[in-house]
Structure 1
Amino acid sequence: MAKSTNSRRRGGRILQFAVLGVALLSGLVIASVFLLTERIADNIVRIPAFDSPAAGVRPPDTAALTVLLIGDDTRVEPSAQGDAVLLVHLSPDRGRATIVALPDDSWVEIPGRGAGTIASAYSEDDPSPLIGAVEQLTAVHIDHVVTVDFARFGPVVDATHGIDVPRGGGHLDGAAALVYVRPQSDADLGRAERQQDVLRAVFGELASPATLTDLPAYYELLEQLSRSLRMDTTLSDGNLRSVALMAAFRRPGVMSLVAPVANRERYGTQSVAHLDPVRSAELWTALRSDATADYAALHPQDLLDAASG
């Protein structure tokens, strides 16, 4: 009887210590994320993305959060246009995320300019024409803009101790990743698709348990990543901290889709993609109503892996 009572007491103490350990670990993670975002936010260049609104009426704001993510490669000179153009849409409860890749040569209407490729709407100093073009195309409200400078992405990849990219030949360090995102010919896999592969691998490492439990490695990765980012001025440090905490404690289910292309043609020397009007309309409706899983079930060919491989 006494032995049984002692066992229960020891079990109770072990449970108490376990709960205390989890609480302390959670507190350390929260405190670390707070301090990291305070320091790292200073490295991020802020851009006035919404100070000169694009022409026309913007779609209404909703409880969902949508970020326009732009890949930019300034290895030779400041880029005149974006490469990867991605919509990152988080559901209102932040439990799910959908990433929609827009082909950089998609032919769209650019407010105040007329028709052109979606990538040509981007300017490093003023992304508002691109915001207007995407909002006009999708009727999805853009909350924030983030650009990633791939010319500075080598140290980011090295901070992860390398990433696994099957289409890139396996495990890549920073130098190999930069070679991978820069195809040597138009017949090769497009730069935007390659940038998406690298981004997915890096952000996968950022949210992995191995990285999250190694705070020095986590700090180094965030430090290097912050030096390659530009964000709009409306994305506050508090919101940035909330996103970091969400990544630390609950990685949302992520679905990656490619906007459907009906056909491609050449305008002079320029190749452009015309999006499928029917399926695109379905996709934008599904995105606005957080029903992209239903869309993917009907159109599995538009899933990123299916579309790219």
Structure 2
Amino acid sequence: MNTSISFQSLSEEEKYEHFMERINAGEKIEADDWMPEDYRKALIKLISMHGISEIMGALPEKEWVPKAPTLKRKLGIMAKVQDEMGHGQLLLRVAEDLMKPYGKSREEIMQDLFSGQLKFHNVFHMPAPTWGDAGLIGWLVDGAAIISQTNMLNASYGPYARALKRICAEEVFHAQHGEAIIMALAEGTEEQKAMIQQSIDRWWEALLMFFGPGDASTTGTSKQDTTIKYKIRTKTNEELRQDFFTKYVPRILSLGLKLPDPTMHYSKEERKWIYQQPNWNEFLKIIRNNGPKSQERLRLRKLSYENNAWVRDALSSSSKAT
């Protein structure tokens, strides 16, 4: 392309071709760069959901801050909750920059959550009634998050890729925190070992759903083709799920625990794990805020948001004064 020609003088088709050349060459797209509408919208949806899920994902573990069995565990889970809230704020800032052409702000992202327009991750609609659940969230849920997020470390959108570098580094510590809880329980009493098994049984289907449906024919909701096309990520939902199985199924079994799916096995011929599909109709129900804890956690988030409005107002007034 002749670089002496003004980019603005190019047709939409030429701009798109130039954009695809850039991302195929491994260049990073920045917030002020031209981008196709479907790319911008895919990023907004993905990053807004990711950011909100980090915030909502702190709530199941927040319940265990006052109930953690020791001071050391209390400090550990409190630090993890603080990290997750920080991840959420960082990602919502990235999403806010993308929404500027539409005149939308971070405030509107939160209102979209309360109205049901913006979804949060299916796993964070689930109950966490025991200390085993608190450990399992760190061990397997955060483990699944690391697999998903490292797949996007080289995302074509620069601000998201850079944010993920920090987030993934901290998520590794979160997974180690969860694994430490699980290992302590596994080495404990029979009752403590049973607590881990009950947590795995309770969370298994949600973990299978973590990466989303395998293809659009499953539920009609998959957007994975768009994100792969634009090099936001490189692997499909099913490839990520298979990676999760390969990493964690041996670890689960090594602790003397049982998989909730007795038919699950690795097929050498097909070179993949064979497993029972979760109920994808239940997945759709959950992400529409009809899960076991959906409404309770939304109420808690809304109450917190309203009670702390004075802080946002004070910061806004201070900013205007300077």
Q: Normalised by the shorter chain, which TM-score bucket?
A: under 0.3
Q: Which structure is higher in RCO with an 8 Å CA cutoff and minimum separation 6?
A: 1
Whose strand proportion is higher, 1 or 2? 1
TM-score where L is the length of structure 1: 0.27
- What TM-score comes out, normalization by structure 2 length? 0.26
In proportion to residue count, which structure has more helix?
2
